[in-house]
Every structure is written in C-alpha cells, then in structure tokens.
Structure 1
Amino acid sequence: MLEIELKARLDPDQALDLEARLPALGLVFDHWSRESDDYFQAPDRDFLRSDEALRLRTLENEGGSQAFLTYKGPKLDPLSNTRQEIETAIGHAPDLEAILTALGYRSILTVKKSRKLFKGREALDGVSLCLDQVEGLGSFLELEYLLADDLDPEKRESIRNRLLSLLDDLAVSRDRLTRKSYLELLIASMTS
C-alpha cells in the first residue's frame, strides 16, 4: 500500500475546536485507541539515514488489543509524508520482538500516543483524520489516504492536493505541517 499523509502540529485548544467541527465537514468519529510504537534499527543499515522505519505497534481500544508490524519506506515527495507502507497483524508482540532481537534488530525508542480516528464520508470517502496526543510532543493532526502502490504520480499528487485542501478547510495553517515522523520529532526533542 501507499500512504499519503499530512501531519500538522496543533495547539491543545485547537485540537478541541477541530474535533467539534469535524462532523460538519463530513468526518465522523470511528474509534479511539492508545498506541505504543516500538521502533527498531536494522543490523545492516541505518533506517534514520535511509528514511525508512520498522515499527512494532501495540494498540488498545474498546475492541481489545492488537499488534502490528509495519515497514515504512522512504518519503516520496518534498511536501508530504507519502511513502510505501506494508503492515501485517501479528499474534503476540513480545514474541515478535524477541525474534527481531535475535536477528540483530534493536529497539531504539518507543512513541506512545492517544488517538481519535475519524473517517471521511461522501466527498471525503477514503480519507482518515487522526487527532493524536503524543507523549513528550503534544497535539497533532494527521490526514491520511491509503491506496495501491502502482498509482501513477499524477493521481498521487491529486490526492495529496485534496488533503491539502481539506487542511485549509480545517483552518490549519500549512506552516504547521511537518514531514518528520513522531520518532524523528521525539529524537530531536531529546537532543535539543
């Protein structure tokens, strides 16, 4: 799959205001979750330098808990976080973590967040909006669209522009956008 994503930092009061306005824009609450994302470094290459990520996510919500292993490829354009994403559900996160460790992968950092997920309806079908509260970083908005890997660049750009237009409709300034992952932002906050 290909994930087209825009991420913007929010002020805490801005997140509350946005949430109240989402239904009028065609975005309906889907679910909440608590997510713990363990990021791994490969033994044979530096994922931070290659702009890749390997993440083990443990997710808890009203439906119980789940775990996922996700690979994210390098970002594909200079404006968004568009990248290849390959994800699979796993049965038992501690066992997979033990396997990765045995293969030489090492956990570098854990990102914890609370997330409220909203799904687009009608004209926004296929769009997901997440309001995230990330430990150590604050409030963020993510707009996402998942699609087939083989989509041509023009259609990818069209979807990205659709997300940018939605960002404008939400009255979130484009200067609040960041291309950095939560991992990169957390590392930067720890080293500054």
Structure 2
Amino acid sequence: MAQNVEVKAKIDSIDTFIKKASQLSNQESETISQEDIFFNCSNGRLKLRMIDEKKGQLIAYERPDSSGPKISSYKIYETPAPHVLKETLTKSCGILGIVKKTRYFFLIGRTRVHIDQVDGLGAYFELEVVLSADENEESGVHEAEALMEKFGIDERQLVKGAYLDLLLSQSSEAV
C-alpha cells in the first residue's frame, strides 16, 4: 500500500489559507466538488469518491485516529463506473455515511495541500506528504511540521479522525 503523512486542522476561514497555499505552491488552486461515500467494512475505512458520472475512486485506507502528523496507508482503485460500484457496495456493505465538500487543491513539492469547506462542519486544512516506498515516516513528519509552521497551524487546531467521524459525532450529540 502507498503511504503518506497526514495532518488535519480546523481553520476559521479558507481565504487566508488559499492565499498562502497559492504563494507557497506558486499556482492557483484546483477546485473540486467531492462526495465521499463511506461503507461499512471490517478493516480500516472504505470510501467511494464520486468525481463525475464516468470517474470515481474507491479508496481503502488505514490511519490512527490521532491528532498531529500520522501515517496513512492507502490503496486507490480508479473506476469509470462509480454509480455501478456505489450500488454494488451499498447492497453488499451498507453506507456508513456521506461527506460532501468543496476542496481547494495545491501541490507544494510532493505534499498535497487540501483546503476544504465541508458541508455541516466548516473549514479545514489538510496536508498529505507522499512518501516513497523506501522512505521512513520521520522525514514525512518533519516535512509536515515545517509546512504546519509556514501556515501557522498550532496544536490546538489539530483534529483527530476523519470528517465522517466529526459528522457522526455531531449527529449523536444532537440526539
């Protein structure tokens, strides 16, 4: 499985982060509307990212639900028939939840920077430092921490878990 070092943080406003990411990456953002459908599974997480009618990604991943830089192992399967895959997985596994977001994507070196406006949650900042097959976690953590400092992210902003976890905890608190 491929690996990256991830960081997720709650932010007040996306505008400042988009401006900073544009400066650091020397490019404008790619803006993407995403719908991630999470399915029940026994190991890690399984989600189908609906990109459009003829493109989707089935993503299986495992990562600890801790704040700060953490290793994530993942496998991505590109599909030209996301609706067929959604129907099949819904019937066999059941849907755990759905996350909808507008993502502003940047690439800073090998690090994927996501500035997300998540429906029902607000604004978030994510880093994914992509590791090579023979690379240790420490170099990715060091790179993530350096970028966190450039963006002014502090420990109080760091988030545990996935967006789905946050949405599910909100709905359980409302009951």
Shorter chain as denominator, the TM-score bin is: 0.7 to 0.9
Identity %: 22
Q: Does 1:178 align with 2:155?
A: no
User: How far apart are residue 81 of structure 1 and its match?
Assistant: 3.8
List runs of 5+ in structure 2 lacking aligned partners: none
Written as runs of structure 1 = structure 2, the 5 A alignment for 1:1-192 is: 1-12=2-13, 15-26=14-25, 28-42=27-41, 45=42, 47=43, 52-60=44-52, 66-75=55-64, 79-102=68-91, 104-120=92-108, 125-151=109-135, 155-192=136-173
Superposed CA offset, 1:114-166 (max 9, x none):
0010111xxxx101111100000000001112224553xxx312211211111
Q: Secondary structure at the match of 1:172?
A: coil
Residue 90 of structure 1 aligns to which amino acid in structure 2? T
Secondary structure of residue in 2 paired with 1:99: helix
DSSP-derived class of the 1:5 partner = strand
| CA–CA distance in structure 2, aligned partners of residues 95 and 156 of structure 1 | 36
Letter in 1 for 2:84: D
Within 2, Cα distance between the matches of 1:180 and 1:76?
A: 4
Aligned residue pair count: 172
Deviations 1:63-121 (A, max 9, x none): x862000000243977434211100110111211222244x30111110000010111x
Question: For 2:81 and 2:54, how far apart are their aligned partners in 1?
Answer: 10
TM-score normalised by structure 1 residue count: 0.81
Q: Report the CA distance shift for 1:38/1:81 in structure 2 as closer, same or farther (over 3 A).
A: farther
